[in-house]
Amino acid sequence: MASIAEPIARLIAELNKLPGIGPKSAQRLTYYLLHTPDEEVKSLGDAILFLKEKVELCSVCFNITDRNPCPICQDKERDHSKICVVEKPSDIIPLERTGKYEGVYHVLHGTISPAQGIGPQELKVKELLYRLQDNSVAEVILATNPTIEGEATAMYLRQMIRPMGIHISRLARGLPFGSDLEYADDMTLAQALEGRQEF
């Protein structure tokens, strides 16, 4: 790589770290940016920096937000007695897109993974149980992925929440086992949401 100018090699290496971008794409993007007008490149750079500077976790639901509490948690039109529990912030996007869900969310930031030593302490579980303590929540919808780890997490939450007498449901099995909510199509997800089952 010594023949390539250092700034170019550096950007290629950085882009290559991104998901879905292999060495060839990284190279193509780098040379594309080299020929892009200065102000556009600057705007892209600013957007990336802003992402980290202006964004934080909502203190209620732990979604990523630039306002705290986040717009969903602040929305009085939404049903705050329903909490949909998801693994990661990007899982909220497809659920919102279905337009079928009027409740609020809770983001765990991961799943229980015994083989990797990730337990409930590493997730926003304590924070969820805290939210459930003031008797204002009637239903918890467990929307963790239909994977082994998602199931383990859902079963653990069920056992922790059940003594509180709150209704617990789980997304219906429109979702094939082993899949990821983030990549589910809208129809499948809307069906899974409507057909959520007692858990």
Partner 1 sequence: MAAPHVYQTRAIVLRQSKIGEADRIVTIYTPELGKLKAIAKGACRPGSKLGGNVEPLTYSSMMLAKGRNLDIITQSQTIDAFLALRKDLWHMACGLYTLELVDSSTLENSENSPLFDLLLNALRWLCQSENDKTVVRYFELHLLHHLGYRPQLRRCVNCNSSLNPVINFFSYGQGGILCPHCNQKEPVPRPLSVDALKVLRLWQGCDYATASRVKMSSKLSSELKQVMQGYMRYLFQRELKSMAWLEELEKKSLVDNNYGTN
Binding residues vs Zn ion (CB under 5 A)? 58, 60-61, 63, 69-70, 73
Q: Are 197 and 167 in contact (CB under 8 A)?
A: no
**Which of 116, 126, 130, 135 lies at the binding interface for partner 1 (CB under 8 A)?**
116
Structure tokens at 38: 């200065």
Q: Left if phi > 0, otherwise alpha if psi is -120 to 50, otherwise beta: which for 133?
A: alpha
- 147: contact with partner 1 by CB under 8 A: yes
- Rank residues 32 and 183 by Cβ distance to partner 1 and give the closer one: 183
The residue within the footprint of partner 1, chosen from 138, 152, 166, 172 (CB under 8 A), is 152
Question: Does the footprint of partner 1 cover residue 117 (CB under 8 A)?
Answer: yes
Neighbours of 145 (CB within 10 A): 24
> In the set 8, 148, 166, 172, which binds partner 1 (CB under 8 A)?
148
Q: Phi/psi zone of residue 149: left (φ > 0), alpha (ψ -120 to 50 degrees), beta?
A: alpha
State which amino acid sits at residue 150. G
Q: How far apart are CA 67 and CA 30, in angstroms?
A: 33
Least distance in angstroms from the C-beta of 124 to partner 1:
17
- 14 versus 56: smaller Cβ distance to partner 1: 14
156 touches 149 (CB < 8 A) = no
28 vs 80 by CB, closer to partner 1: 28
Contact set with partner 1 (CB under 8 A):
19-20, 112, 114-117, 119, 146-148, 151-152, 155-156, 159, 175-180, 183-185, 188, 199
